[in-house]
Amino acid sequence: MTLTDLNQRFAIGNHVQFKEITDGMIIAEVANQHAIANIALQGAHIATFQPRGEEPVIWLSPHAKFAQGKSIRGGVPVCWPWFGPHKTDSKLPGHGFARTVPWEVFETKALPDGSTFLRFGLIESGVTRAQWPHPSTVQLEVTVGRALRVELVTHNAGGAAFELGEALHTYFQISDVAKTTIRGLDNCAYLDKVQDFARFTQQDGIVIDSEVDRVYINTAADCVIEDKGLKRAIRIAKQGSMSTVVWNPWTEKADKMGDFGEEGHRGMVCVESGNMMDNVVVLAPGEMHKLVAVYSVEKL
């Protein structure tokens, strides 16, 4: 669909407009009384979200590359239909292919409370089918309001069950890691990627003073990012998710990745709602699975 077609069919006054940025990348610009947001059609990737009168809630690297087939550093990358490395084929992309392939717009709607609803669907192709032979659909439903609600909906359209790994790999903007504590995972078991996935149990809040890369399992709990610098807390509420990943690459890893910017890792933390490792989802034929995350700001 061309940019003109997109705007003819799905633009909503000055609430939703589609723009081409670089390299043929198209984004949906969303602006309403509650918030502003930008969503790239590639990967249905929410790149920014900022409630009016607040600092941005979602972090986007100043060095994020908006290029065809490349993952965008920051925002809400959709990890699907697997999380982390592919189980058997190391040549396949980490975190699945969904975030780097084209998605299409199915629906946009101005809601009665002034929020904006958008629904996207992954466009199947030879590229996706070669990596994922299971007949299935995946859609992302986004509601931009005072809070940001994201729903990742998978449907097994085939005749055989498949195993699904997934996550909303969300980067949150913070004042500084030294002023931030992540709460909600006390007494929760986790696998520590930094220590070869050894298993531990979380005691108290999570303070980040080195690389943190942990998969918390069997938890449906909300998380709260307490940011003393911005005097705010970001609440991450979720449904249909039994795993939470907490990640900060710290200096060495961030420098190696090359798209965090100078000390960029200090201004972000990933708290990712998903289902992976012990919590992968087995979807029976005809079954649908919904992963929901809602991001909201509270005063500290």
Query: Which residues are identified as catalytic?
Result: 169, 272
Please report how close the Cβ of residue 205 comes to ligand TA6 at its closest, in angstroms.
Answer: 19
Taking CB under 6 A as the rule, does residue 84 contact ligand TA6? yes
Pairing between strand 116-122 and 136-144?
A: antiparallel
Among 193, 228, 235, 290, binds ligand TA6 (CB under 6 A): 193
Taking CB under 6 A as the rule, does residue 71 contact ligand TA6? yes
Please report how close the Cβ of residue 211 comes to ligand TA6 at its closest, in angstroms.
Answer: 9
**Residue 121's CB: how many other CB atoms inside 10 A?**
16
Tokens 């990640």 — which residue? 247
Taking CB under 6 A as the rule, does residue 169 contact ligand TA6? yes
**DSSP-derived secondary structure for 133-188:** -S-EEEEEEEEESSSEEEEEEEEE-SSS-EEE-EEE--EEE-S-GGGEEEES-TT-
| Measured distance CA(275)–CA(293) in Å, rounded | 12
For residue 116, give Cα distances in angstroms to 112, 145, 237, 250: 9, 7, 19, 35
Window 203 to 262, contacts with ligand TA6 (CB under 6 A): 213, 245, 247, 257
Taking CB under 6 A as the rule, does residue 24 contact ligand TA6? no
Please report how close the Cβ of residue 231 comes to ligand TA6 at its closest, in angstroms.
Answer: 28
Closest residue to ligand TA6, based on beta-carbon distance = 247
Window 88 to 147, contacts with ligand TA6 (CB under 6 A): 94-95
- Between 84 and 135, whose beta carbon lies closer to ligand TA6? 84
CA angle 189, 193, 195 (to 5 degrees): 90
- Between 16 and 167, whose beta carbon lies closer to ligand TA6? 167
Please report how close the Cβ of residue 59 comes to ligand TA6 at its closest, in angstroms.
Answer: 13
Taking CB under 6 A as the rule, does residue 179 contact ligand TA6? no
| Measured distance CA(239)–CA(155) in Å, rounded | 17
- Between 64 and 297, whose beta carbon lies closer to ligand TA6? 64
Pairing between strand 26-31 and 35-40?
A: antiparallel
| Measured distance CA(260)–CA(254) in Å, rounded | 6
Query: Residue count at the site for ligand TA6 (CB under 6 A)?
Result: 13
- Between 61 and 143, whose beta carbon lies closer to ligand TA6? 61
- Residues lying near ligand TA6 in the complex (CB under 6 A): 71, 77, 84, 94-95, 169, 193, 213, 245, 247, 257, 270, 272
